[in-house]
Structures are given as structure tokens and as C-alpha cells.
């Protein structure tokens, strides 16, 4: 039996609260253990380590994991991989890791074989929701509504589709005397686009099924089957490198950036060394210390201040900046400069409390290991593109720019974009409530 579901974003889509570790997700179905599973092999032939390549400041894998965890629909969220770096990224984004065996890590291994291995090793799981890492515009509301087709409507399998308006013709091999012909078109009665419903095609975003279908029937689409139609703007599938720039623009517009908060950001902490500067200190012949600051970054500070976001610059005991330089920075940027110890959180926690803010209202930009606690805790966090992996894995956004070359400007624009999105969402919600 086949059925369908067509959806757009519902009122309040994505507002599911804080991102929780996978092991703390609430029980979604009273009887069954429902798990999300993302397959992320390290040996991608098209794009090396594609699954953790940065897309709009987030590892490709992170987009899907964020949607899965924020949906609150899964008892567990897993990444199946054979690669150490992918494992680190998966754990940093709230997933548990299934280390797949060599038998299902080959170029010839199918997704079905890997999912079946996972199912045999996790017998407590009753429903497996296979999410594709290459579909970065997936939102929590997609997962919630599709999964309810299994938990509430009694379907055994649900998969995602998108509507396409493309006429298909038979391919003719070179040298063949065959003639081509249309599969879904009568040329003499060619319809206008608006008069044709188009066709439903799998978009590869997800495949949900029971473990009984997987292990007994050896299929992911069986039993009582339904499809879940996603709008074209959410149907992004990255297979080759040429897709990356296009996908990046689509994600910036239609991607899921986390549950919006009412104020987004009211306070920003930014390290001077490694973020505002490139970490270089220049010494003059007379012994004077000098640093280089990109004018785009100082303009970024003024952009944030104009939006009533207080910016506080940080210098560390581990890498102190001369007082004369901090005075000049204060004069040039209008920012308070605060010296922190080897664990910035010790002092900054008190500052946040004194300002009667919560960490969800805070943005933090750091560049090294001592920043990890603050990067994890802040509502929005970023590191320059040349930060070490330990900092990159803890941050929510990784800049393309390096420290001292416009990374702060890039993060500031990201903050303001999210603020504008939250503002638009609140305004749309207000209009909907008034009109309906």
C-alpha cells in the first residue's frame, strides 16, 4: 500500500528547545526505540572526506545531525563510519558512533548492508531512520511529520520525495540504430508546466523503516509504504564538488540553523589574538610591540554595536597583549578589553550573570583549546578557518577566513543574518496569529 504526504513549514517549525545530547533525547514512541542513523564512510570517491567538509561554516554531517537531535523524535542518534576524524565530528555534534566493519566499508558495499549490520548490533532499536548526510537542508519538522506516519498512522516504511517537472526520454547509446522516444510525454499534446502535476522522485533525504523490514524482508521500502513530499528548496543532494557552491547558497537561505531564540545575541566575546589579529606580534627596533588589525573586522564590531550587541574583546594570560595596545583597541573600537586566565569561562560566567543574561544570548569567538568550554556553551560560537581541530569541533560555525583577515566580519554577518531570520519568523508568526 502506498500513500503520500505533502508539507511546507508549519507554524513554529524548528522551535523545539535546546539541542540535547543523543543519549538524553526524550522517548518518542511509547513502545518502540526509534534511532536516527547517518552513514558516513571515509572513502568518498567524488569528494575526499566529503561528509566533514565545511559547508557554510558547518561540517556537512553537522547539518543533518543538528536537525535530528533538535527534532526530539529519536531515542538515539548514530553515525556509522570507518574513519577517526568523522567519528570526532559526529560526537562533537551529539551523535553516538557505530564503527562499521571492513566488510561493509568497501566501495562495493551497499547502504542496506551497513544498515543491517547496525541493526544486528543494536537489537534494542525497532525503527531505523536512515538520514543522508548529503541533504543539508533537512529540518526537524520534516523528520517529525514523516516519523509520525510510522508512529501514529501505522506505516512500516516512509521515504522522502520531491516533485519534478522534467520530461524524460530514452537514452540511445552511440552507434545504436534505435530511435529515442519519450517516457512521460506525448509530444503532440505537450502540456504547460502549470497544467502538469509533474512526477515524484526520491530526493534521498531519508528512508525510515522497521527493523523487521530490514532483517526479514531485506528491504528499506516495504510493507505498508508511504512517501513524504518535500518542497524543492529543501531537496539539496551533494554528490560532486561542483554542487558545493550551489548547495552553500541554498543552505544559507533554506538550511536549519538551530531553534531560534527571541533575542538571538546580545553580547559577544572575541579573542584579540588569533581572531581579531592573526596571532602575530610585530616588534620594532626600539622594542615596541605592534599588531595588525583588518579594517573589515573593526567595521564588523561597529555593525554589531549598531544592532545593540555589546562586544567585549579578550586577551589571555597565556598570550598577553601590551596595555598600550589594548588602550588603543578600546579607543578605536569602543570595546572593553578584558584579560582572562587559562580558562576564560571562570571569569566570563560571572560577567554573563552580572549582565543578567543566559549563555544562549552570548556569541563567542575563540581560536584555541582554552576556548573550548566557552565555544560549547555559547548560543552562537565560531573559530577562524586556521583554528586547530579541537576548537573547530567545539564551535558551531567555522569561518572561511583566517584570523586577522576578516574572520570576525564573517562571523558578525552570520550573527546578523540569524537575528534577521528570527525577526522575520516572529513577524510571520504575528501575522499568522492575527489573520487566522
Residue 303: the pLDDT is: 94
Which whole number is the average pLDDT over 199-225?
93
190 is a catalytic site residue: yes
- In this predicted structure, the answer to whether residue 3 has a pLDDT above a threshold of 60 is no
Each residue's pLDDT tens digit, 393-410: 889 899 999 998 999 999
Q: Of 225-229, 252-256, 259-263, where does the model show the most confidence?
A: 225-229
pLDDT at residue 62 greater than cutoff 50: yes
> pLDDT tens, 367-376?
999 999 999 8
Q: Match 516504511 to its residue by C-alpha cell.
A: 157
Residue 424 grid coordinates: 522575520
Please report the pLDDT score of residue 422 as a whole number.
Answer: 66
Any idea which of 48-57, 129-138, 343-352 has the lowest mean pLDDT? 48-57
For residues 306 and 5, the model is more confident at 306
Q: What is the mean pLDDT of the chain?
A: 84
* pLDDT score of 45: 66
Closest CA to 304 of 412, 407, 421, 399: 412
pLDDT of 249: 85
pLDDT of residue 382: 95
Q: pLDDT by residue (tens digit) across 318-350?
A: 666 666 677 888 888 889 999 998 889 989 999
Q: What is the pLDDT of residues 295-319, one digit of tens each?
A: 899 999 999 999 999 999 998 876 6
Instruction: Catalogue the E-assigned strands of 126-263.
Output: 127-131, 157-164, 199-210, 225-230
What is the predicted pLDDT for the residue at 198? 92
Task: Write the pLDDT tens digit of every residue in 220-250.
Answer: 999 999 999 999 999 988 865 557 888 888 8
According to the model, what pLDDT value does residue 169 have?
93
Distance CA 76, CA 66 (A): 13
| Comparison of pLDDT for 46 and 115, the residue scoring more | 115
Distance CA 163, CA 264 (A): 34
Are 81 and 90 a contacting pair, CB within 8 Å? yes
- Choosing from 99, 120, 164, 190, which is the catalytic residue? 190
Strand, helix or coil for residue 199: strand
Cβ-based neighbour number of residue 17 at 10 Å: 8
For range 54-72, the mean pLDDT:
92
Q: What percent of the chain has pLDDT over 70?
A: 83
Determine the pLDDT at residue 429. Answer: 41
Highest mean pLDDT among 35-49, 172-186, 318-332: 172-186
| pLDDT value, residue 104 | 87
Q: CA-to-CA distance for 387 and 195, rounded, in angstroms?
A: 53
Between 77 and 195, the more confident residue is 77
Band of the pLDDT at 26, cuts 50, 70, 90? very low
Cut 0.75: pTM above it: no
In the DSSP assignment, the letter for residue 27 is P
Residue 3 bridge partners (DSSP): 226
CA distance 166 to 114: 33
18 pLDDT more than 70? no
Label the pairing between strands 58-59 and 54-55: antiparallel
Amino acid at each position: 500500500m502506498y500513500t503520500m504526504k505533502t508539507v511546507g513549514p508549519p507554524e513554529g517549525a524548528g522551535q523545539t528547545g535546546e539541542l540535547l545530547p543523543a543519549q538524553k533525547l526524550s522517548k518518542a514512541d511509547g513502545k518502540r526505540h526509534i534511532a536516527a542513523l547517518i552513514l558516513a564512510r571515509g572513502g568518498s570517491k567524488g569528494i575526499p572526506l566529503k561528509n566533514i567538509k565545511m559547508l557554510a561554516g558547518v561540517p556537512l554531517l553537522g547539518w543533518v545531525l543538528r536537525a535530528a537531535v533538535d527534532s526530539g523524535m529519536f531515542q538515539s542518534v548514530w553515525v556509522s563510519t570507518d574513519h577517526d576524524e568523522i567519528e570526532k565530528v559526529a560526537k562533537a555534534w551529539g551523535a553516538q558512533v557505530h564503527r562499521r566493519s571492513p566488510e561493509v566499508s568497501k566501495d562495493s558495499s551497499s547502504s542496506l548492508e551497513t544498515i543491517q549490520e547496525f541493526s544486528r548490533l543494536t537489537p534494542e532499536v525497532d525503527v531505523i531512520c536512515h538520514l543522508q548526510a548529503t541533504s543539508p537542508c533537512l529540518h526537524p519538522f520534516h523528520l517529525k511529520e514523516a516519523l509520525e506516519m510510522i508512529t501514529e498512522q501505522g506505516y512500516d516504511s516512509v521515504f522522502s520525495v520531491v516533485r519534478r517537472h522534467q520530461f524524460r526520454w530514452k537514452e540511445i547509446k552511440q552507434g545504436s540504430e534505435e530511435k529515442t522516444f519519450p517516457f512521460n510525454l506525448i509530444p503532440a499534446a505537450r502540456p504547460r508546466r502549470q497544467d502538469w502535476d509533474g512526477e515524484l522522485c526520491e530526493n534521498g533525504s531519508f528512508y525510515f523503516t522497521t527493523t523487521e523490514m530490514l532483517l526479514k524482508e531485506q528491504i528499506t521500502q516495504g510493507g505498508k509504504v508511504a512517501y513524504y513530499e518535500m518542497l524543492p528548496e529543501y531537496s539539496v543532494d551533494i554528490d560532486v564538488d561542483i554542487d558545493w557552491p550551489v548547495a552553500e547558497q541554498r543552505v544559507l537561505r533554506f538550511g536549519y540553523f538551530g531553534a531560534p531564540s527571541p533575542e538571538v545575541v546580545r553580547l559577544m566575546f572575541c579573542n584579540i589574538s588569533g581572531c581579531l589579529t592573526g596571532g602575530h606580534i610585530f616588534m620594532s627596533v626600539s622594542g615596541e610591540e605592534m599588531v595588525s588589525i583588518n579594517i573589515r573586522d573593526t567595521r564588523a564590531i561597529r555593525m554589531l554595536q549598531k544592532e545593540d550587541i555589546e562586544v567585549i574583546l579578550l586577551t589571555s594570560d597565556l598570550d598577553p597583549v601590551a596595555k598600550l595596545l589594548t588602550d588603543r583597541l578600546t579607543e578605536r573600537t569602543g570595546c572593553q578589553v578584558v584579560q582572562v586566565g587559562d580558562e576564560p569561562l571562570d571569569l566570563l560566567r560571572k560577567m554573563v550573570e552580572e549582565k543578567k543574561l543566559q549563555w544562549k544570548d552570548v556569541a563567542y569567538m575563540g581560536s584555541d583549546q582554552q576556548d573550548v568550554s566557552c565555544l560549547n556553551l555559547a548560543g552562537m560560537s565560531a573559530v577562524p578557518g586556521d583554528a586547530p581541530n579541537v576548537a573547530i569541533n567545539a564551535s558551531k560555525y567555522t569561518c572561511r577566513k583566517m584570523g586577522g583577515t576578516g574572520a570576525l566580519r564573517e562571523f558578525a554577518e552570520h550573527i546578523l543574518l540569524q537575528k534577521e531570520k528570527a525577526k522575520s519568523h516572529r513577524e510571520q508568526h504575528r501575522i499568522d496569529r492575527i489573520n487566522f
